[in-house]
Amino acid sequence: MFKKILIANRGEIACRVIATAKRMGIATVAVYSEADRNARHVALADEAVHIGPASSRESYLVAAKIIAAAKQTGAQAIHPGYGFLSENEEFARLCEEQGVVFIGPKHEAIAAMGDKIASKKLAAQAKVNTIPGVNEAIESPEKAVEIAKGIGYPVMIKASAGGGGKGLRVAYNDKEAHEGFASCRNEARNSFGDDRVFIEKFVEEPRHIEIQLLGDAHGNVVFLNERECSIQRRHQKVIEEAPSPFISDETRAAMGAQAVALAKAVKYQSAGTVEFVVGKDQSFYFLEMNTRLQVEHPVTECITGLDLVEWMIRVAAGEKLPFAQTDIQRHGWSIECRINAEDPFRNFLPSTGRLIRFQPPETTMFQSDTSKWMGVRVDTGVQEGGEISMHYDSMIAKLIVHGRDRQDAIQKMREALNGFVIRGISSNIPFQAALLAHPDFVSGHFNTGFIAEHFGKGFHAEDVPHADHDFLVALAAFVRRKSRERAASLSGQLPGYDVKVGQAYAVITLDAKGDHQYHDVEVDDAGGRGTAVIKVNDKNYAIHSNSRLNDIAIEGTVNGQPFTAQVERGSAKNPLVLQVQHHGRRIDALVVSPRMAELYRQMPFKAPPDLSRFVLSPMPGLLVDVAVTVGQKVQAGERVAVIEAMKMENVLFAAQDGVVKSVLASKGESLTVDQVIVEFA
């Protein structure tokens, strides 16, 4: 077994590998860019080596620097994680040539399966079901349109070296095929250094289901059941679960057998994943093979009890798998939510900045310890006070739960999301909560078009369902009442000026457009500390909580049922507001006396300023293109500028017709949030 390994990655996956290595008694070496000097994975590792500037092209993607770091520190092996160089055959080959073990498949297998065009040919030879399409690299957008017409729309345009949703477009007509080809090529060149693109038939109403494999150097390959990855936004996975609520035992066995046959055809060693697209009739077709550890690997670890990182290390060290296919069991149900630094209420724009608060829910399952089941696990590479950088992807944590069955897992996940406190940046937690509560998700009736179908016009606060909105009002009144009780208990108050607790309150739920809602509330302390009965709209809420007043995450019971919610004092616009959040729904509430509520009704509403004449940068990022000039007539929907942030291009469009008065930012400039790029006359 290795004595020391280097992790050629960053963020949560670097921390994940370190956890298993430490349990196995293996010393670890981290590498870091300038942006990650104070990152969590650097602090966790036994040693750390600086490898360059913030840009991944000058640090995490430079194979020579990483191999030099391994040599310098005496690391015997390198674990690549996922992304970056994890599926780079040249890097794997260089490791072998330099006498450093690559903890992953041999470079020949990466070459065969990492290239989507070559892998489809090999899959066909191994008698694996494949999708109709043209598997040769396409040279021009005109040729792409011609091929797409021949296959029949819709088609999928994909970069050969793509992954993570980058370099992928779905085209429904000639115009989309022409534009999609150019976009795919650009994204692929920037992200992977390989601009080859191919086209295949797009299966409508598809499921995205993948088979997890483990192979060793002795010819043994087993599959570890499947993962359901159909809940995707812009081709990037949002929620993953294992097993799938859709496929039958017969389909599972058939998919597993084909995945194993393909792996054996390329003498696959290590963990790997074969991805399939599955039709509504359970017909399935090979998509690609990921020759690395997947982001969503924890859900497989939960249902099988196997540490995949451990077995990657053991296989790389030459060990034989000690279990056969018949030994692989399936226990319970696991779900993973990707917690991303993005604002779901602003079209999921990346959100960067400092994590003022980062408090995950209480965890009972842990990385590298698969003996703990039926609980909550958090995989993350950040910590409170850390910086979310514009240089890397937006995922800041993975929230994983393991339940007895699917409904139990959904319930566990909803409660875990309620207790996940993130402040300083925006996160997609409200969106995740809405997805988990959607009837089609709960019933298991969905496909890869689920988010586009139900949230095609964006995500809004009213899209978050809540079974009992009055509970949020009652909770705001409860917290305010307990705050008043504490204030009234302070000694030394002047007679006549002491704090009065009172029983009658009014809760005003504020609306951005001025359509505020007023609720008359009665509060009875019920004679117990941390207890009160709140009456809202003729409904009683007996709330008990021992949480402190300065806690953001509040745990307790309401009418005897447990709950977790978040309550925070003050907002950017009003320091008196209580922000209450539960199951993804948030209200901004003023809890005041009935007389103050009457006066508040008389206050004029101040509408926000009209910014429709300006195109503003919605996020920090690099301005890579300005598509208009002064004096140009622009129509609504026309491309105005392109901003690059978190490895993705974000196109800004004109909201209405107009003439460009001035261009106030230059190509190559680093932008701040709400910086003006273009002004219209």
Q: Which residues are catalytic?
A: 288
Give the strand pairing for 4-7 and 77-79: parallel
Q: What's the rounded Cα separation, in Å, for the pair 273 and 291?
A: 7
Residue 300, classified by CB atoms within 10 Å of its CB into exposed (0-12), middle (13-18) or buried (19+), is buried
Two structure tokens written together for 163: 């992954």
CA distances from 677 to 89, 352, 628, 664 (A): 41, 19, 10, 5
Q: What's the rounded Cα separation, in Å, for the pair 583 and 419?
A: 10
Q: What's the rounded Cα separation, in Å, for the pair 200 and 124?
A: 14
Q: What's the rounded Cα separation, in Å, for the pair 329 and 334?
A: 14
What's phi and psi for 601, nearest 5 deg? Answer: -60, -30
| AA identity, residue 10 | R
Query: What are the beta bridge partners of residue 275?
Result: 210, 288
Q: CA triplet 399, 402, 406: central angle to 5 degrees? A: 110
- Residue 218 Cα to chain centre, angstroms: 36
Cβ atoms of residues 136 and 196 within 8 Å = no
Query: What are the beta bridge partners of residue 398?
Result: 338, 379
Two structure tokens written together for 667: 């190509």
| AA identity, residue 293 | L
Cβ atoms of residues 298 and 398 within 8 Å = yes
Q: What's the rounded Cα separation, in Å, for the pair 461 and 483?
A: 28
**Residue (of 635, 631, 498, 479) closest to 552 by Cα position:** 479
Q: CA triplet 407, 410, 414: central angle to 5 degrees? A: 140
- Token look-up 């019971």 returns 557
Two structure tokens written together for 421: 């406190």
- Token look-up 């002047």 returns 494
Considering Cα of 620, then 624, then 630, then 634, what sign does the dihedral take? negative
